[in-house]
Chains A and B, each alone.
Chain A
Amino acid sequence: MGIGTFFTSKLDEAIGWARKYSIFQYPFVTACCGMEYMATACSHYDIDRFGAGLPRFSPRQADVLFVVGTISHKMAPVLKRVYDQMTEPKWVVAFGVCTCTGGFYDNYATVQGIDTIIPVDVYIPGCPPRPESVIDGLMKLQDKIATQVQRF
Chain B
Amino acid sequence: MDGAAILAALTARFGSGVVETHDHRGDHTAVVTREALPGVLAWCRDEPSLGFAMLTDLTAVDYLKYPGHADGPRFEVVYHLYSLAHNHRLRLKVKVDEDDPVVPTAVDLWPIANWFEREVWDMFGVRFAGHPDLRRLLMYEEFVGHPLRKDYPIDRRQPLIGPTT
Q: What residues make up the interface of A, taking CB atoms closer than 8 Å to B?
A: 73-74, 76-77, 80-81, 106-109, 111-112, 116-117
Q: Tell me whether A116 and B155 are in contact in the complex, defined as CB-CB below 8 angstroms, given that A74-B139, A109-B147 are known contacts.
A: no
Cross-chain contact B161 with A76 (CB below 8 angstroms): yes
Q: List 10 A-B contacts (CB under 8 A).
A: A73-B158, A76-B159, A77-B164, A80-B162, A106-B154, A108-B139, A109-B147, A111-B159, A112-B157, A116-B159
CB < 8 Å: which of B139, B156, B158, B162 contacts A77?
B162
Q: What residues make up the interface of B, taking CB atoms closer than 8 Å to A?
A: 138-140, 143, 147, 152, 154-164
| A51 CB to nearest chain B CB (Å) | 32
* Assembled-state Cα–Cα distance A113/B99 (Å): 37
Cross-chain contact A74 with B160 (CB below 8 angstroms): yes
Cross-chain contact A77 with B161 (CB below 8 angstroms): yes
* Assembled-state Cα–Cα distance A12/B43 (Å): 77
Pick the most buried of A73, A80, A111: most chain B CB atoms within 10 A of its CB. A73
* Binding site secondary structure of chain A: loop
Residue numbers in B under 8 Å from A74 (CB-CB): 138-140, 160
Residue in chain A with minimal CB distance to B156: A108
* Binding site secondary structure of chain B: loop
| B143 CB to nearest chain A CB (Å) | 8
* Assembled-state Cα–Cα distance A108/B139 (Å): 10
Cross-chain contact A73 with B162 (CB below 8 angstroms): no
Closest 10 CB pairs of A and B: A108-B147, A73-B160, A74-B140, A77-B163, A76-B161, A73-B159, A77-B162, A81-B163, A117-B161, A76-B160
CB < 8 Å: which of A80, A81, A106 contacts B155?
A106
Residue numbers in B under 8 Å from A109 (CB-CB): 138-139, 147
Residue numbers in A under 8 Å from B155 (CB-CB): 106
